[in-house]
Chains A and B, each alone.
Chain A
């Protein structure tokens, strides 16, 4: 017997390829509001580049999208879930489908980069012999090579950033959030990282990059957004999507 399908507009939105939709969202910390009436969207197979000056609200937008900061008003639908109405377990489940690259990534410092990268896979219940090759592949993909076996506390800033990228990609997330991923990198390293992230749209992920560096837009085709004083505006109307669909 076929069950009648219960209409869920949030899920429908997700299945139509919209990974993130913010409508009139306000949020902030304590008594201060940082984001005002934000309208934003990220789609599958697309890279959204959000640029703006320091203290414009980029990191706050990232925290909102990674479900660390609750919206105060407006509508926030991420991966088919209205996060304002979701309970802690549902929010945690959504977070497991998001790869987050912080501006200053947190690691278990005395573990090796390899072990840090493998952490999402261990949390998912996979055993070392099952994920070893996948993690090695990621290590090669982000180009940290031999450094993967060193404790993270011994890595350079660029190596740490690449380790964070590899960790964010390990669980094959549907949405990748990168907060200033090229900060403190040489222009060449920065472009390489931006290209790495942009590559992820080809495997069906949506990518949101928040950065001060507007030149990242030259690295790949991206939908560009501008954030200033907590207000987000779309710079260009559309960006070509990679040929991928939400499973």
Chain B
């Protein structure tokens, strides 16, 4: 049966768009936090820098690199070039450095394999180098367990926070959809008078609300994506639109897919329940 869009429906539509937009934004925010925390966690636990103290010179660095390839915990080792050092200095907020002007740093970057809990990673690496006749120190050691745990905790809080926020938005959608059923009171009453069962009347209104929830949810999700892309391009100018697809992982789509569907479900169920109540009132006057 037809129902022309009316003022209240438009207000409800935009309410649902906003709710889904907020839920998707929270979900995408949680994904960003998750990826940043994961990056931090990996960098903190899988990365180290070794400075060769003695002997001096490029041959010592080469010898240390060979020794490190056999050392425990080490997945790969690569001498730090001047260009790489300059880039790191820039990232760490130092003064802009010209790579050609930097001294020979005798630094080696290590990618580490996951260590067993309690292992003295830095000590084992220094010992392995000493056996090869190289005196060195680990100047950026992997983070301890507490830092890694903190990152994991941040990821968990962000994920569950987004889920909780999404649940609150779903409740708002559910309540707003009950308003749609109230607006359709006369239709439900007429259907009841004409012999529609409670289930038929509830389905009619519930389906309408679900479709409204789905379309508004889609609009809200698209809006959130547009805002997210604009913010990303503003926050990270080095990222280009062409590079975006490669950055996206399948899990990043979860909020985009889930939010409109949950909005449709919540709207449908809310309106259905309210329409059922209205039908019951109309069906039994006594």
Which A residues contact B (CB, under 8 angstroms)?
Answer: 27-30, 63, 66, 68-70, 72, 88-89, 91-98, 100, 102, 106-111, 115-116, 119-120, 122-123, 167, 171
Pick the most buried of A68, A89, A167: most chain B CB atoms within 10 A of its CB: A68
Pick the most buried of A89, A92, A171: most chain B CB atoms within 10 A of its CB: A92
**Are A110 and B6 touching (Cβ within 8 A)?**
yes
B95 interface residue (CB < 8 Å to A): no
A239 to chain B, nearest CB (A): 28
Pick the most buried of A28, A95, A171: most chain B CB atoms within 10 A of its CB: A95
Residues in B whose Cβ lies below 8 Å from that of A72: 286
Mostly, the A contact residues are mixed
Residues in B whose Cβ lies below 8 Å from that of A171: 194
Residues in A whose Cβ lies below 8 Å from that of B189: 106
**Roughly how many angstroms separate A102 CA and B192 CA in the complex, as a whole number?**
13
**Roughly how many angstroms separate A131 CA and B42 CA in the complex, as a whole number?**
69
Also in contact, A29 and B286, with CB within 8 A (given A107-B186, A107-B190, A108-B187):
yes
Q: Which 9 A-B pairs have the closest CB atoms?
A: A96-B195, A95-B195, A92-B197, A69-B286, A68-B285, A120-B194, A69-B285, A108-B187, A92-B195
Closest to A108 in B: B187
**Are B283 and A111 touching (Cβ within 8 A)?**
no
CB-CB contacts below 8 Å: B234-261 with A: none
**Are B186 and A123 touching (Cβ within 8 A)?**
no
**Roughly how many angstroms separate A72 CA and B187 CA in the complex, as a whole number?**
29
B82 to chain A, nearest CB (A): 75
5 other A-B residue contacts (CB within 8 Å) besides A93-B195, A119-B191, A171-B194: A29-B285, A68-B283, A68-B285, A95-B193, A110-B6
Which of A28, A30, A106 meets B193, CB within 8 Å? Answer: A106
**Are B197 and A110 touching (Cβ within 8 A)?**
no
**Are A123 and B191 touching (Cβ within 8 A)?**
yes
Closest to A118 in B: B1
Closest to A171 in B: B194
**Roughly how many angstroms separate A100 CA and B190 CA in the complex, as a whole number?**
10
B196 interface residue (CB < 8 Å to A): yes
B73 interface residue (CB < 8 Å to A): no
**Roughly how many angstroms separate A29 CA and B2 CA in the complex, as a whole number?**
35
Also in contact, A123 and B4, with CB within 8 A (given A63-B285, A108-B186):
no
**Are B193 and A66 touching (Cβ within 8 A)?**
yes
**Are A98 and B195 touching (Cβ within 8 A)?**
yes
**Roughly how many angstroms separate A96 CA and B189 CA in the complex, as a whole number?**
14
Closest to A92 in B: B197
A44 to chain B, nearest CB (A): 19
**Roughly how many angstroms separate A96 CA and B187 CA in the complex, as a whole number?**
16
CB-CB contacts below 8 Å: B189-216 with A: 189-191, 193-198, 200
**Roughly how many angstroms separate A106 CA and B193 CA in the complex, as a whole number?**
9
Which of B3, B194, B198, B285 meets A95, CB within 8 Å? Answer: B194
B249 to chain A, nearest CB (A): 47
Closest to A116 in B: B190
Closest to B191 in A: A123
